[in-house]
Amino acid sequence: MTFLPEWPLASNTIFFFGILLFCGAIGGFVTHRRPWLPSITGFMLVGLLVGPNVLNIVSYEALAESRIIIDVSLALILYRLGLSLDAKLLLRDRRLVVVSLVESTLTFVTVWFAMRLFGLDDLPAAVIAALAVSSSPAVLIHVTNEVGAKGPVSDSAKTLVALNNVLAFLIFSAILPLLYNRAQAPLSTILGGPLYVVLGSAVLGIVAGYILHRATRFAKAAQQYHLALVVGAVTLTLGATISLKLSPLFALLVLGVAVRSFEQEDLIAELEFGPAFELFFIALFVYAGANLHLAEMLEYAPAAAAFVLVRGLAKLAGVGVTSRLQGLPMRQSATTGLLLLPMAGLAIGLVNTTVLLFPEQGVVVSSVVLAAVAVLETIGPPISVKALRLSGDTLKPNGAPDEVSANAPVEASKDAAEEQSVAKT
């Protein structure tokens, strides 16, 4: 009977995307009933449960098939993070740049020394230290939306996370020639490879940002198409990085920075993605929970524990001391540092790059970093929620995320028209 499906049933990306969303929504709802526990924790726990480590409903092969959906999710999140980084504003007010440079340098140096004390070679230790500089944009954006945080701490944290990810990528790119040299690559690859990736990704992000900026100005009167233009530009840029062998993480971050810097009227820089954007967060964190490598976590537990501890102290000390010297209150300094603790997207992406290009070094790097990411993605969201509640920023009373109506401009114009009519009467 050829019309019957073959058994076992063939898997497909859409099917597993549905599993990620459905199971994640249930986990998020369960944790939502406990105000002290952020929904991200529920997403990751459900992912761990249905993933290869426990029930194996979603295997590693299925996770690999679902990778493209996760890439799109992370691309949109990095684009949104890039929007929080206004290059023109940073050039006028360099305080956050100084904070980021001090905190990132301290993090890199202390984590490198800690990894060397645990017997790691110098280059793997340097790669791990470079990844330690990065922070998780997805956790910060989701948690701030969930509790409705608005204020100087959450704004500063978003800028610092964006700067940290840029610096982490640049430090990683600076270490690449040394890794290529140890792998006995030709001189053209040693010098040309990192330059091509960094400059190519930056140029692609800037060009895509300018095209998006011009397109939204052209369609200024039709705001209903702005979201489609943004998502289209993000996915086109993501696809271009794959074809051109560039860094999607860096290119999408630059795309957001470019749009923010080009715009003067905030046509799309302040564009709300709406409740549907939650789908991408759910898929991303359920995927992260399902993809935890428990065996590697146990094998490299001491080094990973040192990584988490030293990195956390370095970020808190770097942000705290520098901010205090600039006259910021202690509470704001400490809570801003706590918001930098979660770590995921960029670190995982650069780990995959290391494993692909340098398998021998990548084994050590992936084992330590992925174990640390598992810990930081578990404890990071509750710490972030607590930090926002202590920060002094404005929070929504019920802790629910902001919901902005897509018809808000239309409704506002209607209200204005009614007021004018009443005034005339």
The ranges assigned to domains in the chain are: 14-395
The residues of the chain scoring below 50 in pLDDT are 399-425
- Residue 408: per-residue pLDDT: 39
- Residue 266: per-residue pLDDT: 65
- The architecture in CATH of the region 14-395 reads Up-down Bundle (1.20)
Asked if residue 166 lies in contact with residue 349, where contact means CB atoms within 8 angstroms, the answer is: no
Which DSSP letter does residue 327 get? T
d(CA 267, CA 259): 10
- Residue 312: per-residue pLDDT: 92
- Residue 243: per-residue pLDDT: 93
* Dihedral sign, Cα of residue 100, residue 149, residue 260, residue 252: positive
Per-residue tokens: 244: 């051109």
- Residue 398: per-residue pLDDT: 55
163 CA to centre of own chain: 12
Asked if residue 80 lies in contact with residue 165, where contact means CB atoms within 8 angstroms, the answer is: no
Rounded mean pLDDT of the chain?
81
d(CA 32, CA 40): 10
- Residue 36: per-residue pLDDT: 65
Residue 190, helix vs strand vs coil: helix
Per-residue tokens: 151: 């204020």
